[in-house]
Amino acid sequence: MQNHSADSIERLVGLLPRAMRNQIEQWGEAAAVLSASRDPRVAASLLPSGVRGLFLKRGKQGIPTQMPAHHLAHFDWRYPSDQPEMADLYARAKQGQWNADDLPWHTSVDPLDPTVALLPEGFLDIEGLTAYGVRLDQREKIKMQASLCAWMLSQFLHGEQGALFAAAQVTEAVQFFDGKLYGSTQVMDEGRHVEVFRRYLDEKLGRLYQINDNLFVVIDALMTDGRWDMKFLGMQIMVEGLALGAFGVLHRRTEEPLLKQLLRQVIQDEARHVHYGVVALREHVTHALSERERREREDWAFEVALLMRDRFLAHELYDEWFAHRMTRAQWREFISNSPGMREFRHTMFRRMVPNLREIGLLSDRIRPHYEAVGLMEYYHGAAADKLTADELIRELS
Amino acid sequence: MTEGREGWVLRWLGRGVGATLTQLESDAKMLLGGVRGEAPAPFMQRQAPVWGAAKAPRSVGHEMLQVLRVEPAAEDAVSLVLHDPSGRALRWQAGQFFTLKVRVLGVEHRRAYSVSWAESAAEPPGSVRVTVQRVPGGMVSERLVRDSKAGDWLAVEGPAGRFVLPDAVGEVVLLGGGSGVTPLVAMAQEALGPGRATRVVMLLGARNHARALHEAALQALAAGSGGRMVLHSLVDQRAPGDDAAVREGRLDAATLGALLDEAQVSENARYFMCGPEAMLGSLRATLLARGVSASAIEEERFVRPSATRQRGSAEAQPVTLRVLGREVTVAQKPGQTLLDAGLVAGVEMPFSCTMGGCGACRVKLIAGEVSQEEPNCLRAHERDAGMVLACVARAEGPVTVEVP
C-alpha cells in the first residue's frame, strides 16, 4: 500500500518542472530523516533542529544564525583537583599548542593541477556516473574532485565553528574543575582550526560551500540542548568522530602538501579532544546518570550515528553539478557507494564505536540495532583514551 | 510585533526559540524560494582566483599543457614539446617565453623558458617547444631534464616577454651563449620564415660542442637559407672527438669585432643578445665601442628568483593603485608584494612570471617608497622613469602607483 502510493506520488512529481521536482524530493528526504528515528523521544528532541536545518535551511540563508543556549554555568569556588587524567590532558594540551602561521602558507595550490591532486582519481567513481547518463571530460573531472575537496573542507570549517562554541559552553557547564582547565585549551584549539580551514579555503581554494543541512541539524541540536553531557556526547564523540574520520581520509589521500601538513596538525589536537570526551563521559555516565537517562543518550547516539552515515552526502555539490542531470536519489546512490565515502564511513566508525562502548553507551540493549546496520564489526577496537596522537597519525598514514 | 500569519506559523514551527523578525522574514523567503524551485547558492566565492579562469583579465593566460614528446637537445638538455590536448593552437612571438610552474618537494617553483622554435617551424603546428639545460644545483632544471616524459602535465603561464623581433627589419645579429641560445633559434627561424627577407648573423658561444643547444638544427637552417644566414658557433674548448668544423674561441671583444667585420654587418642591423649576465655586459660594451647605438640593442636576461625574499614592511601598508583613471586603495599585508595586494583585492593588474624576470607587471611609482628584489629585469631608462616591478616590490610605507 505504502509502496503503491509512493509510486503514484513519484509519477505526479515527475510531471513537474525539474527545479520544483528537485525541491519536493528534498522535502521528502527531510521528512524521511525526521521520521526515521525509532525512538519517539529522540525524534522529538531532534524535530525543532530538523525543521530549522532541513526545511528552513537556516545555515544557507546568508544571514547570521542566533542559537539560544539553555545550559547552566557551573562555578566551583573550591577549585577541586580530583580528575588526574584530565589534569594530564591539560598538561599535554599546553605542550601541544602550535602556531598556524608556521604552516608553509607560501605553498601555492592550484586546484586544477592534476599532478598535485587535492583528491586522487578514484576517490569518486566518476566513470560510474555514465550509468546515470552523465559523462565528464578530463577537465570537468579534475574540477569536480577539487569541488568535492572544497566541499569537505568547508564542512570541516562549519563543524569547527560549532566545536568552538560547544567547547566554550561545555567548559562553562562541566562539573570537573580539571575538565574546565582542559576545556580552555580546547577552545583555543578549535579557534585555531577555524583559522586554518578558513585561511586555506580563502587563500588557496577560493570558495566556501554552504553548511550541509544535516550538519546544521546536529550542531543546532547540540547548541540548544541544555544538558551539558548531550553537548559533550554530540560534539566530542559524534562530531569529532566524524571529523576524525573525514580528516583521516583526506590526510591519507590528498597529494597537496600544505593540506596534508595542516590536517596532520589538526588531527593531533582532535585526538586529545576525543580522549577528553571519553574520560569525562565515562565518569559521568557511570556515576551520575540514572538508567533511564543513560538509555536516552544511548538511543540518541545511535540515531545521530545513522544520520551521519546516511545523510552527510554532499548535496551542495549535487546542487552545483548535477541538479539538472540526475535525480537526488541517483546522487545519493552514487555518492554513498563511492570509494572515498566508503573509506570515510569505515574510518569514522572504527573510531566512534569503540568510544561509545568505552563510555557505556553500547549496552546489550542497543547492540542488536548496531548489529542490524552492520556496525558491530568495529566493537572491539581501541577507544580514544588508549590511543596516543602518534598512534593515531601512524594509523592514518 | 506584526508578523502576519506566515510569521506565526514559522514561530510555531521554530518552537518559540526566540527568533527575531529578521530571522522569520529570512525563513519565509527561503521557504517561498523552495516552493518556486529556487535553491540557495551552493558556495560563495572567496578571495583566491576563480578556478580555471585567467587570474586577471589583462594578465596573460594560465593553463595546463601536456608534454607531447621529449627530445634530446644537447648533452644534459632536453626539449619539451607542449600542446593543449583539446587541439587549440598555442600562439606566441619568436623570442617570448612561457613560465613553467614546477613542483619540487611540495614547493612550487616558477621558471621562465623561452620558446625554442618559431610558430612557423612548430611541429605539430600550434605546439610550443621549450629547451631546458641542466643547471648545476638547479632543482627545477634537474627535475625537468631527468623526469619529463610524454603525457606529463605542466602548469604554464604565458607567453610573455618584450624580447621579440621587430616587424620590418633588414638585418638582425643574434648573439648568445649557453641556454641563451633558445630564444635566438626561434628568432632565426622567424627571420628566415615566410614573408620576411631579413638577413641573420648568428654568433654563439658554448662551453663545448656537446653542450651547444640545437647545434645541428641551426647548421641545417643556415645551410638551407640560401646565404641569408651566417652562423658561427664557438666553443671554449674542443673535445678530442670533435669534428674539424668546431671552432675554439670566446665571444670577447676581439673575436666579436672580427666576426662582425667578416660578416659585413650593416649599420642598420638590430642586435638581440641572450645569455649569462657577464657575457651580456661584455658584448654590450664591445658593441657600444664599435659605435652601435644603445637603442639598437635588445637583451634578454635570465633572472633567477632571488634566494632571500625581502619581507618588506612588518605592518600592513595602504597601497593606492591608479587603474584606468580610478583610484583604489588596498592593504598590503606583511609579506605581500604590491602585486599580491592588488590581485587579492580584485584589482586587474597585469603580470606573468612573478619573479622579476619579464617586466609584464611594471607600474609607475607616484609617491612613497618601495623595496625591490634585485636583480630584476628593469632597464636603466625604466628605473629612471620611476618604474617598479609590482611582483617583487613591497611598500615600505603608504604608496601610490599607477598601473599602465
For residue B379, give the CATH number of its domain: 3.10.20.30
Q: Are residues B151 and B265 in the same domain?
A: no
Contact A365, A338 (CB under 8 A): no
**CB atoms B42 and A209 under 8 Å:** yes
Q: A-chain residues within 8 Å CB-CB of B99?
A: none
Q: B-chain residues within 8 Å CB-CB of A48?
A: 14-15, 17
B276: Cβ contacts below 8 Å, ≥ 6 apart: B177, B178, B180, B302
Determine, yes or no, domain membership for B88: yes
Q: B-chain residues within 8 Å CB-CB of A150?
A: 43
Name the amino acid, one letter, at B320: T
- Give the mean model confidence (pLDDT) for residues A14-26: 69
Nearest CA in chain B to A21: B37
CATH number at residue A344: 1.10.620.20
Examine the pLDDT at B285 and tell me if it is beyond 80: yes
Whole-number Å distance between alpha carbons of B352 and B335:
19
Nearest CA in chain A to B28: A56
Whole-number Å distance between alpha carbons of A115 and A121:
11
What is the separation, in whole angstroms, between the first and last Cα of chain A?
50
**CB atoms A66 and B14 under 8 Å:** no
- Give the mean model confidence (pLDDT) for residues B50-58: 39
Q: A-chain residues within 8 Å CB-CB of B47?
A: 202-203, 206
Confidence class of residue A395 from pLDDT cuts 50, 70 and 90? low
Determine, yes or no, domain membership for B387: yes
Examine the pLDDT at B101 and tell me if it is beyond 70: yes
Confidence class of residue A99 from pLDDT cuts 50, 70 and 90? very high
**CB atoms B48 and A209 under 8 Å:** no
Of B14, B37, B64, the CB nearest to A113: B64
Q: Does B268 touch chain A (CB under 8 A)?
A: no
Residue with cell 657577464: B278
Mean pLDDT of chain B: 82
User: Which of B125, B160, B195 is the last residue in one of the domains?
Assistant: B160
Q: B-chain residues within 8 Å CB-CB of A58?
A: 23, 26-27, 30
Describe chain B by its helix, strand, coil percentages, rounded to 5. Answer: 25, 30, 45
Determine, yes or no, domain membership for B51: no
A169/chain B closest Cα distance in angstroms: 18
> For chain A, what percent of residues have pLDDT higher than 90?
35
Instruction: Say if residue B227 is exposed, middle or buried (CB neighbours under 10 Å; 0-12, 13-18, 19+).
Output: exposed
Q: Are residues B295 and B197 in the same domain?
A: yes
CATH number at residue B150: 2.40.30.10
Of B14, B51, B106, the CB nearest to A257: B106
**CB atoms A210 and B43 under 8 Å:** yes
Of B23, B39, B45, the CB nearest to A66: B23
Count how many pairs of residues, chain A against chain B, have C-beta atoms within 8 Å: 136
Q: A-chain residues within 8 Å CB-CB of B17?
A: 48, 52, 67-68, 224
Element housing A50 (H / E): helix A40-50
Q: Are residues B296 and B335 in the same domain?
A: no
Q: Does B156 touch chain A (CB under 8 A)?
A: no
Q: Grid coordinates in use for B144?
A: 625537468
Examine the pLDDT at A5 and tell me if it is beyond 80: no
Q: Does B53 touch chain A (CB under 8 A)?
A: no
Q: Are residues B77 and B154 in the same domain?
A: yes
Q: Are residues B343 and B284 in the same domain?
A: no
Q: Which of residues 90-149 of B touch A (CB under 8 A)?
A: 101, 103, 106-108
Domains: count for chain A: 1
Please tell me the predicted confidence (pLDDT) of residue B167.
72
**CB atoms A107 and B108 under 8 Å:** yes
Q: Does B34 touch chain A (CB under 8 A)?
A: yes
B303/chain A closest Cα distance in angstroms: 21
Contact A88, A181 (CB under 8 A): no
B16-52 pLDDT per residue, tens: 445 678 888 888 888 888 887 777 878 877 766 556 4
Determine, yes or no, domain membership for A176: yes
B100/chain A closest Cα distance in angstroms: 13
Examine the pLDDT at A180 and tell me if it is beyond 70: yes
Range of the domain at A235: 65-396
Please tell me the predicted confidence (pLDDT) of residue B1.
40
Determine, yes or no, domain membership for B46: no
Determine which of A136-140, A365-369, B9-13, B263-267 has the lowest per-residue pLDDT on average: B9-13
DSSP string covering A155-224 = HHHHHHHHHHHHHHHHHHH-S-HHHHHHHHHHHHHHHHHHHHHHHIIIIII-EEEPPPHHHHHHHHHHHH
Mean pLDDT of chain A: 86
Instruction: Say if residue A25 is exposed, middle or buried (CB neighbours under 10 Å; 0-12, 13-18, 19+).
Output: middle
Please tell me the predicted confidence (pLDDT) of residue B35.
80
Domains: count for chain B: 4
* Sheet of strand B199-206: strand arrangement: B247-248, B229-235, B199-206, B171-177, B270-275, B297-301
**CB atoms B48 and A202 under 8 Å:** yes
> For chain B, what percent of residues have pLDDT higher than 70?
88
B229-245 pLDDT per residue, tens: 999 988 888 888 777 77
- Give the mean model confidence (pLDDT) for residues B347-364: 78
Q: Which of residues 216-235 of B touch A (CB under 8 A)?
A: none
Q: Does B45 touch chain A (CB under 8 A)?
A: yes
**CB atoms A115 and B106 under 8 Å:** no
ipTM: 0.78
Q: B-chain residues within 8 Å CB-CB of A112?
A: 51-52, 64
Q: B-chain residues within 8 Å CB-CB of A203?
A: 47-48
**CB atoms B43 and A207 under 8 Å:** yes
A231-251 pLDDT per residue, tens: 989 988 888 888 888 888 899
A303: Cβ contacts below 8 Å, ≥ 6 apart: A36, A37, A38, A39, A42, A46
A118/chain B closest Cα distance in angstroms: 13
Determine, yes or no, domain membership for B44: no
Examine the pLDDT at A279 and tell me if it is beyond 80: yes
Determine, yes or no, domain membership for B55: no
**CB atoms A56 and B17 under 8 Å:** no
Determine which of A67-71, B19-23, B204-208 has the lowest per-residue pLDDT on average: B19-23
Q: Does B168 touch chain A (CB under 8 A)?
A: no
Of B18, B36, B51, the CB nearest to A68: B18
Confidence class of residue A202 from pLDDT cuts 50, 70 and 90? confident
Please tell me the predicted confidence (pLDDT) of residue B58.
30
Q: Are residues B238 and B348 in the same domain?
A: no
Q: Are residues B149 and B86 in the same domain?
A: yes
Residue A138 or A192, more confident: A192
Please tell me the predicted confidence (pLDDT) of residue B93.
86
**CB atoms A112 and B52 under 8 Å:** yes
CATH number at residue B218: 3.40.50.80
Q: B-chain residues within 8 Å CB-CB of A51?
A: 13-15
Examine the pLDDT at A170 and tell me if it is beyond 90: yes
Q: Grid coordinates in use for B102?
A: 614546477
Whole-number Å distance between alpha carbons of A192 and A161:
10
Determine which of A132-146, B59-73, B253-267 has the lowest per-residue pLDDT on average: B59-73
Buried b (16+ CB within 10 A) or exposed e, B77-90: bbbbbbbbeeeeeb
Please tell me the predicted confidence (pLDDT) of residue A134.
84
Q: Angle at Cα A120 formed by Cα A116 and Cα A126, nearest 5°?
A: 130
DSSP state at residue A128? G
Range of the domain at B363: 317-403
User: Which of B122, B141, B160 is the last residue in one of the domains?
Assistant: B160
